[in-house]
Chain A
């Protein structure tokens, strides 16, 4: 590539952000040395590239000051309780907790792609990085002439990871989607609820997370392949298809056995058809809207549960004798068990039942997870990082432990444009005067 417009930084010039602890540094982890020009935004893309940033990749998040990333706008602020829809009309882009959660360990730059000077910088950044990620609506990268063949002209070994609701081919590729739409279309909302009622679906954008994890895997596989062969690839992941892949044997029961899923006894709520299990459900516990899940699969477990309950007379009745009996009389069984659980603390009950060898779990909320779950605490699942505007905050880490591939949590999410000087100055060689001019003219 040639650069005719801009002078390069003289070696002795000082360019960098004010807070030394936030300055980009060499990273550790299996992905150290991997660099990503990251166009991702919203939830699914940001979560996908977060895994790369956690494990050492230099993920450079490309933002546009004129169109703030939605998680920067969403009012999940310290000390202010607002619902998702009650958006702050004049948000501080550096205050959003969701953005902080999604973009930790990443660098942040701002650039106006509509300005030819902005585009020039981005092309150079792509050449520098060699991995490009995006989850725009189909057509955006095409409008910028940043398709895979065009990216390969910049770098033959480029990895181009595309993440969208419907994938980049087919008649509905341009359909608008976000988590709940993907869940609806893929069948993941239909299969959740009580029989005879409207679907209860999901209380979250489940597919923003699950599609993100599949996108992370696709990216890791592409990186692995390039390490083995030197060859790049485009990878196009469809969230709807990832969702269908998660439906499991209920889907096969319909497409293999022609058994309609639109039927009176489906979906089944908290009960199972396969394997036979009873009691199997969510039962009330002491307190307002507190619950415990109990799953009994084997006769021996039922005997144990009877013992734990001090063998009440109802539990010895013939109608609950075998698994088939208990399933046939599940309504009565659930009512009787609920009477036993109702006044007990959900955590005490969980430990009592688990201690006896019965599969049970308190329905935990986020306060329980963060403050009362000794397993999360012992494993260090949540960790804390400081942030210049937000202050110290908790984050959700990788849900497992590695022998050697440790995550490298070096910094909370970037302030808007925080790393412009580092990326455009130190990495791409623009001098101070050029950076000031680009900034003043709104290019970066």
Chain B
């Protein structure tokens, strides 16, 4: 069965039916967010499947639309319905599907038109419908027809300007994981919920027109305030905050070749004492025990010396030890986990974060669960659908709710 697995309680989205026309992580993740929490998401696909089904990596190397990990990443808990816009019968099926839905997620109104539906007319005909449009630059404005990709979204939206290395002969570096699209998805998901709340109060639906570009442009953290207030442009620095001026490195290589992130703020006396105690315990404090270092001003003068000693201190230990011992001593240190580390993390294990997700083949794989723990209800992701899996017997299954478990 696809559909979110209900662990306890009743999802407030359980009575919500959504039609999704999406093939980038922006729209697909929007649908996934509500599908994993219990909404019935009908993913409409063209014959052959959406683009993400044709994008690797592939489960166990099988290049097959049902084995795309790119598709699995953003399409858990959904139903799949293949609808061919060139078929009159299929366009009728789409109209019926839409008639049953309370929400439409759409990335490309041209695709919607191919399925026989004009967006503007739809909004007039269905005043109760919530349409979440998530597009590269939004539906209006001088750049509305411009194209995007994850890299281009991060670039034009400003995030990329903050990311990369101290060495500025190297271009800005794209952070991994389709984050440019993910930012669009986060706002689409919030916009959808705001529209649901409004509809609950007024009975009216509406168009929510989310722009991936704008989603990036409002998510640069300090970068915009630094321009809005002191008119400063932040400069990228290796694995730490872009700032108007260079700051000390915060990434430390450890004895086992892994890295930890630790930004020592010299003005924080408690953190300084904690670090000093730790270094003393391992006989690595050297001259830092000199009472002169009790003064912030002296520490600031000697920052590069302190930094060198910390580098050596971390280089003689492994990252795991530093992470847990540092945290035990109250220091905000993070180990740079690689992906293979995550399922072994005892904290995540105890919280039951990763779930065993059934695959279309009847196998199970490790899959990230939800970051939410609601006391009133709890769901877990259901498996991604096979291409066209819910085409037949679509209507009877829908009416009985039997295709969700």
**Same complex origin of A and B:** yes
Q: Which of B86-94, B100-108, B192-200, B308-316 contacts A (4 or more CB under 8 A)?
A: B192-200
| Cα distance A269–B160 in the bound complex, in angstroms | 12
- Do residues B226 and A233 form an inter-chain contact, with CB atoms below 8 A? no
Count how many pairs of residues, one from A and one from B, have CB atoms less than 8 Å apart in the complex.
546
Residues in A whose Cβ lies below 8 Å from that of B175: 188, 191-192, 201-202, 206
Residue of chain B at shortest CB distance from A259: B57
Is residue B330 contacting chain A, with contact meaning CB distance below 8 A?
Answer: yes
Q: Given known contacts A76-B225, A402-B208, is B217 in contact with A200 (CB within 8 Å)?
A: no
Is residue A198 contacting chain B, with contact meaning CB distance below 8 A?
Answer: yes
| Cα distance A295–B195 in the bound complex, in angstroms | 34
- Do residues B239 and A79 form an inter-chain contact, with CB atoms below 8 A? no
Residues in A whose Cβ lies below 8 Å from that of B374: 218, 221-222, 233-235
Q: Output the least CB separation between A181 and chain B (Å).
A: 4
Contact pick for A185, options B224, B231, B266, B337, CB 8 Å? B337
Instruction: Count residues on chain A whose CB falls below 8 Å from chain B CBs.
Output: 164
- Do residues B218 and A399 form an inter-chain contact, with CB atoms below 8 A? yes
| Cα distance A213–B171 in the bound complex, in angstroms | 29
Which parts of A202-236 form the interface with B (CB within 8 Å)?
202-206, 208-211, 213-214, 216-218, 220-225, 227-229, 231-236
Q: Output the least CB separation between B154 and chain A (Å).
A: 8
Residue of chain A at shortest CB distance from B163: A203
Q: Which of A4-12, A315-323, A370-378 contacts B (4 or more CB under 8 A)?
A: A370-378
- Do residues B193 and A221 form an inter-chain contact, with CB atoms below 8 A? yes
| Cα distance A250–B56 in the bound complex, in angstroms | 10
Residues in B whose Cβ lies below 8 Å from that of A364: 155-158, 161
- Do residues A169 and B351 form an inter-chain contact, with CB atoms below 8 A? yes
Residues in A whose Cβ lies below 8 Å from that of B190: 51, 213, 216-217, 220
Q: Output the least CB separation between A298 and chain B (Å).
A: 11
Residues in A whose Cβ lies below 8 Å from that of B65: none
- Do residues B163 and A256 form an inter-chain contact, with CB atoms below 8 A? no
Which parts of B364-405 form the interface with A (CB within 8 Å)?
365-377
Residues in B whose Cβ lies below 8 Å from that of A194: 165, 170, 173
- Do residues A270 and B171 form an inter-chain contact, with CB atoms below 8 A? yes
Q: Output the least CB separation between B341 and chain A (Å).
A: 8
Instruction: Count residues on chain B whose CB falls below 8 Å from chain A CBs.
Output: 161
Q: Given known contacts A225-B12, A354-B146, is B173 in contact with A172 (CB within 8 Å)?
A: no
| Cα distance A321–B159 in the bound complex, in angstroms | 33
Contact with A along B225-252 (1 / 0, CB 8 A): 1111111111011111111110100110
A223, A359, A398, A403: which has the most chain B beta carbons within 10 Å? A403
Q: Given known contacts A261-B338, A399-B214, is B230 in contact with A79 (CB within 8 Å)?
A: yes
Residues in B whose Cβ lies below 8 Å from that of A55: 194
Is residue A289 contacting chain B, with contact meaning CB distance below 8 A?
Answer: yes
- Do residues B215 and A399 form an inter-chain contact, with CB atoms below 8 A? yes
| Cα distance A172–B334 in the bound complex, in angstroms | 12
| Cα distance A280–B205 in the bound complex, in angstroms | 40
| Cα distance A200–B54 in the bound complex, in angstroms | 29
- Do residues A198 and B239 form an inter-chain contact, with CB atoms below 8 A? yes
Residue of chain A at shortest CB distance from B333: A181
Which parts of B54-84 form the interface with A (CB within 8 Å)?
54-57, 59-61, 68-70, 72-74
Q: Output the least CB separation between B147 and chain A (Å).
A: 4
- Do residues B206 and A403 form an inter-chain contact, with CB atoms below 8 A? yes
Is residue B276 contacting chain A, with contact meaning CB distance below 8 A?
Answer: no
Residue of chain B at shortest CB distance from A359: B147
| Cα distance A148–B375 in the bound complex, in angstroms | 10
Contact pick for B261, options A85, A181, A232, A390, CB 8 Å? A181
Contact pick for B224, options A227, A269, A369, CB 8 Å? A369
- Do residues A169 and B336 form an inter-chain contact, with CB atoms below 8 A? no
A220, A237, A277, A369: which has the most chain B beta carbons within 10 Å? A369
Residues in A whose Cβ lies below 8 Å from that of B148: 359, 361
Q: Output the least CB separation between A162 and chain B (Å).
A: 9
Q: Given known contacts A184-B334, A363-B160, is B142 in contact with A378 (CB within 8 Å)?
A: yes
Which parts of B298-354 form the interface with A (CB within 8 Å)?
327, 330-343, 346-348, 350-351, 353-354
Q: Output the least CB separation between B264 and chain A (Å).
A: 10
Can you give 8 contacting A-B residue pairs, CB < 8 Å?
A167-B351, A203-B162, A233-B376, A234-B374, A252-B365, A365-B234, A403-B206, A405-B206
List 20 other contacts, CB 8 Å, given A168-B373, A248-B70, A249-B56: A30-B198, A148-B375, A169-B350, A184-B336, A203-B240, A216-B190, A220-B197, A227-B201, A238-B371, A248-B176, A249-B55, A253-B57, A255-B354, A260-B338, A270-B173, A294-B152, A295-B152, A358-B147, A393-B228, A398-B191
